[in-house]
A and B are shown apart, each in its own frame.
Chain A
Amino acid sequence: MVLEAFGQALQNFAPVGLWVVLGIGVISGLIFGIIPGLGGIMGLALFLPFAFYLAPERALPLMVALVTVVNTGGAMTAILLNIPGTEPNAATLIDGFPMTQKGETGRALGAALASSGLSGLVTALIALAMIPLVLLIIMGITSVEMVFIVLVGISFIAVLSAGSMSKGMISGGLGLLISFVGFQSLTGVSRFTFGNIYLYDGLHLVPAALGLFGLPEAIVLAVKGGAIARTGVVIGGMEKVWEGVRDVFRHWALWLRSSLIGYIVGIIPGVGGTVGCFIAYGQAKQTSRHPEKFGTGCVEGVIAPESANNASQVGALLTTLALGIPGSASGAVLLGGLLMVGLIPGPDMLNIHLDLSLTLLLVAIIANLLAAGICLFAGRQLARVATVPGRLLSPLILTIIFVSVFAIHEEFLDVVVALVFAVLGLSMRQLGYNRPALILGFILGFFFERYFFISLQIGGPLFFMRPISLILIVIIIGVIAMDPIRGLIRRKRGVTKA
């Protein structure tokens, strides 16, 4: 039956129409990813009205292609401008932007594109094989385990903070604190809203992220002059881009591990792809022979999160199709799209409509490869952005950021939030505080609080006494303790040699 469905899925690629909508989806996804603040959700929402008028074989490939490549587009902005194009790209800029500053833009782009494209391919194939296991995994991970999965993500604040643990913890803690603003559904209490309806849903992530990362860089570029790439560095051409591609093959074990992490985190509903990206980044640093290079422009710091974020999209797609449960925020919109074309997500998608599900997985593979290919050929030109004078680039970045921030909800207060975070981001930049740690705390704080309080209500203070939870606790302790232990071992070796 599976082989027959696979054959039918391949036949679905015969009409030119499918390739046309796939192409539209890929280009749209890249555009929505590149322009900061837009993202896959807005892209899907714009295409939703067409879903009623298109056949399922056209509407769904368009939407799936869009949502699977949006993070690839977002990586461009993260690497070139230090602005996360989408939420999961926040981990990419930690090393991506420093590589641009060192003149290694092409290498960073090549590594990001190759790892995104290939991870999408591999995880789609894994998804095909893992269809029977997906349900077991999703049903086995309860709210209690979710606490520790999120905590593993939060523990990587410690990894990001190496160099100055106290500053990193302060940044992460501030992020957690900011995440608590808003209406708390567990108790029905509004916190720090000051009676303002805008703050009822908490501070919005996009204005905060763009204000924290994008505005300070644009302002510094305008004030200091010059270009993004430091004076004197040589940008290089396509050879640098291909070097980045070769880096992915050189670090194939890291790429594969990160893809698996992203995929597994992606199939679990209610966590979000960002957690997987930071976990992947953290494990890349922990397992690297040169962890001290992370944060200064290390290609492994680009390969890990970019592998994870595309893999998580494929994982979330499978959960949405197989269970009818949105695996991510964009999955919720995709779910609406499935209904609009007359399909009910759930077990039927893996039985009666297995051929369509396989078609969509193949679309995810092809879209990832196509997006990577398009961006690779533009890589040389994209790399030159690093040499554009700041006086030309800065006003453009500022315009795009402010328009994007306002356009999300047509809310002027979003612009105010972006400005406030710009002040915070500038201050943190000057004082050496870790901005990715703040964003990590901000994103994960909401999830941690929700699952922690649910778990307390279910199992009391000893809710963690479950096998998977205990394993995750050991991982968390390992993550936090690894750096100090390594330092101790190095010091002892130094003493022994002396």
Chain B
Amino acid sequence: MRKRRLPALLGSICLILVLAALPFMAACAQPAPAPTPTPAPAPAPAPAPPPPPAPKPVSAADFYRDNTPTLIVPNPAGGGNDYLARLLASYWTEVSGGTMKVKNKVGGGGIVGTNFVYTAEPDGLTLGVMHTPTLISAWLYKEPGVEFDLAKFNWIVSVVKEPVALVVSTKAPYESIDDLKRAKDLKFGTSLAKGSSPLAEAIVSEVFGLDSRIITGYEGGPGVGLALARGEFDAVAWSLTTSLEWVDKGWARPVLAVIDFERADAAPDVPAIVELAELSPDQEAMLRVASTLNAQKSIYTMPGVPEDRVQFLLEAFNQIMAIEGFLKQAKLKWPVWTKPVSGEDMAAFIETTTIISQEDLAKAEELMEKYEK
């Protein structure tokens, strides 16, 4: 019996080690250097052969027709980024003649996928889609594991750029900013402890002098929306599109304000917070930080990609944005579809985020913590 068990055990252990090592070996595989040839004795001089014809440069259009780019989604399948990526990929053939595939690379709240794009081969075949504020926040706050530099990406296009809007639950008895000012122990709700939503809520509390606190921990937009509908908290500052959806569903009262320096195109009748109160310089600085964290989804590729390929991508995605079928399907998810932001404007916007001082970031964190206790 022992003799029969031992080979099975040894075989199993060997198999475990080989299987466990395979992925690691594949990742570490390097091509072996070519051996240096030994010099042969000098032959008689022969007539020089004609030089080979220079290879014809492949145009970007031909390149993308003949190769399949991959659009990396740093989130699980089924979410907003995933939907956008698959929608774009489905129209890529129409503008390029080639195909595009979508791959989910999750982890670290989007950091893993973004790192993957940043460190990929700069041939223009790896693109990424990101929920920009999440990665801006990770980059500004220098979260551990961040390898990318947002200022170095090649930005292609940005969509669904929208400010944060302030709404009140239909279960709460407040209908105006004045009602909020009179309220005692007003409760705001949000998901993460740091981000555009809690910062906007803290700014609203500070600007209007509200007796309020922020409840954190809900699971993303659906969790926050459901809690708002149930009346677990009184008000929330969330992306404008989603807030308007909640109003449509009867979960929230009409939007009270957008937390930004100007009104939003999607809701031109809703005042910006700067119209409702005089902001101090410190509050303006906080509002600037909050504005950089406004929701948007961006398509990008890594630094070092040949310029002609970047140009092709810029034109191709702009063409996709104008296709009627694409717009119709995009509006199913985002009924308020704002004009896309070009890659050049996106690069300029990222440039502005780099000048936000660490001091302002620290103040923003303190402000959020003040209302989260």
Interface residues of A (CB under 8 A from B): 41, 44-45, 48-49, 52-53, 138-139, 142-143, 183, 185-188, 190, 193, 195-198, 200-201, 218-219, 222-225, 269-270, 325-326, 329, 332-337, 339-340, 342-344, 346-347, 390-391, 394-395, 398-399, 402-403, 406, 409-412, 415, 419, 450, 453-454, 457-458
Contacts of B9 in A (CB 8 A): 222-223
Contacts of A458 in B (CB 8 A): 187, 215, 232-233
Contacts of A224 in B (CB 8 A): 5
Q: Are A201 and B1 in contact (CB under 8 A)?
A: no
Q: Are B83 and A340 in contact (CB under 8 A)?
A: yes
Q: List 26 A-B contacts (CB under 8 A).
A: A48-B77, A48-B86, A138-B226, A139-B229, A185-B193, A185-B217, A187-B193, A188-B194, A200-B108, A218-B12, A219-B12, A223-B9, A325-B226, A326-B222, A332-B76, A336-B83, A336-B86, A391-B4, A391-B7, A395-B12, A398-B15, A402-B16, A409-B105, A454-B217, A457-B216, A458-B187
* Residue ID in chain A nearest B213 by CB atoms: A457
With an 8 A cutoff between CB atoms, is B79 at the interface? yes
Q: Which of B78, B192, B232 has the most CB of A within 10 A?
A: B78
* Residue ID in chain B nearest A346 by CB atoms: B249
Q: Per-residue 0/1 for B60-95: is the Cβ within 8 Å of any A Cβ (1 yes, 0 no)?
A: 000000000000000011110011001101100000
Contacts of B213 in A (CB 8 A): 457
Contacts of B262 in A (CB 8 A): none
With an 8 A cutoff between CB atoms, is B223 at the interface? yes
* Residue ID in chain A nearest B225 by CB atoms: A325
Interface residues of B (CB under 8 A from A): 1, 4-5, 7-9, 11-12, 15-16, 19-20, 23-24, 27, 76-79, 82-83, 86-87, 89-90, 102, 104-109, 111-112, 115, 144-145, 187, 191-194, 213, 215-219, 222-223, 225-227, 229-230, 232-233, 249, 329, 332-333
Contacts of B193 in A (CB 8 A): 185-188
Q: Are A143 and B86 in contact (CB under 8 A)?
A: no
A186 and B216 in contact, given A45-B77, A139-B229, A333-B77 (Cβ under 8 angstroms): yes
Q: Are A336 and B227 in contact (CB under 8 A)?
A: no
Q: Are A336 and B78 in contact (CB under 8 A)?
A: yes
Q: Kindly state the separation between the CA atoms of A336 and B24 in the bound complex, as whole angstroms.
A: 34
Q: Are B222 and A325 in contact (CB under 8 A)?
A: yes
* Residue ID in chain B nearest A454 by CB atoms: B217
Contacts of A183 in B (CB 8 A): 109
* Residue ID in chain A nearest B198 by CB atoms: A188
Q: Which of A139, A390, A457 has the most CB of B within 10 A?
A: A457
Q: Are B16 and A398 in contact (CB under 8 A)?
A: yes
Q: Are B219 and A450 in contact (CB under 8 A)?
A: yes
The distance from the CB of A120 to the nearest CB of chain B, in whole angstroms, is 22
The distance from the CB of B24 to the nearest CB of chain A, in whole angstroms, is 5
Partner among B5, B106, B218, B222 whose Cβ is within 8 Å of the Cβ of A454? B218
A390 and B8 in contact, given A188-B194, A195-B144 (Cβ under 8 angstroms): yes
Q: Kindly state the separation between the CA atoms of A409 and B23 in the bound complex, as whole angstroms.
A: 12
Q: Are A142 and B194 in contact (CB under 8 A)?
A: no
Contacts of B5 in A (CB 8 A): 222-225
A412 and B24 in contact, given A45-B78, A49-B86, A340-B86 (Cβ under 8 angstroms): yes
Q: Which secondary structure dominates chain A's binding surface?
A: helix
Taking A188-B194, A270-B219, A340-B83 as known contacts, 13 extra A-B pairs with beta carbons closer than 8 A to each other, sorted by chain A number, are A41-B76, A52-B90, A143-B218, A222-B11, A335-B78, A336-B77, A339-B83, A339-B333, A403-B19, A409-B105, A450-B217, A454-B232, A458-B215
3 tightest A-B CB contacts, nearest first = A197-B145, A333-B78, A45-B77
Contacts of B79 in A (CB 8 A): 332, 336
The distance from the CB of A126 to the nearest CB of chain B, in whole angstroms, is 22
A399 and B191 in contact, given A325-B222, A344-B332 (Cβ under 8 angstroms): no
A44 and B78 in contact, given A186-B216, A197-B144 (Cβ under 8 angstroms): yes
Q: Are A399 and B145 in contact (CB under 8 A)?
A: no
Q: Are A143 and B78 in contact (CB under 8 A)?
A: no
A336 and B82 in contact, given A219-B12, A346-B249, A458-B232 (Cβ under 8 angstroms): yes
Q: Which secondary structure dominates chain B's binding surface?
A: helix
Q: Are A185 and B192 in contact (CB under 8 A)?
A: yes
The distance from the CB of B163 to the nearest CB of chain A, in whole angstroms, is 22
Q: Are A342 and B332 in contact (CB under 8 A)?
A: yes
The distance from the CB of B20 to the nearest CB of chain A, in whole angstroms, is 5
The distance from the CB of A401 to the nearest CB of chain B, in whole angstroms, is 9
Q: Are B77 and A412 in contact (CB under 8 A)?
A: no
Partner among B20, B232, B332 whose Cβ is within 8 Å of the Cβ of A415? B20
Q: Are B222 and A269 in contact (CB under 8 A)?
A: yes
Q: Are A332 and B78 in contact (CB under 8 A)?
A: yes
Contacts of A219 in B (CB 8 A): 12
Q: Kindly state the separation between the CA atoms of A346 and B251 in the bound complex, as whole angstroms.
A: 13
Q: Are A225 and B4 in contact (CB under 8 A)?
A: yes
Q: Are A334 and B78 in contact (CB under 8 A)?
A: yes
* Residue ID in chain A nearest B221 by CB atoms: A325
Q: Kindly state the separation between the CA atoms of A494 and B140 in the bound complex, as whole angstroms.
A: 70
Contacts of B229 in A (CB 8 A): 139
Contacts of A270 in B (CB 8 A): 219, 223, 226
Q: Kindly state the separation between the CA atoms of A409 and B78 in the bound complex, as whole angstroms.
A: 16
Q: Are A394 and B8 in contact (CB under 8 A)?
A: yes
Q: Are B107 and A398 in contact (CB under 8 A)?
A: no
Q: Kindly state the separation between the CA atoms of A222 and B145 in the bound complex, as whole angstroms.
A: 40
A185 and B144 in contact, given A391-B4, A398-B15, A415-B20 (Cβ under 8 angstroms): no
Q: Kindly state the separation between the CA atoms of A411 and B106 in the bound complex, as whole angstroms.
A: 10
Contacts of B4 in A (CB 8 A): 225, 391
Contacts of A53 in B (CB 8 A): 90
Contacts of B226 in A (CB 8 A): 138, 269-270, 325
Contacts of A198 in B (CB 8 A): 107-108
Q: Are A406 and B12 in contact (CB under 8 A)?
A: no
Q: Kindly state the separation between the CA atoms of A41 and B217 in the bound complex, as whole angstroms.
A: 24
Partner among B104, B111, B223 whose Cβ is within 8 Å of the Cβ of A197? B111
Contacts of B194 in A (CB 8 A): 188
The distance from the CB of B249 to the nearest CB of chain A, in whole angstroms, is 7
Q: Are B19 and A200 in contact (CB under 8 A)?
A: no
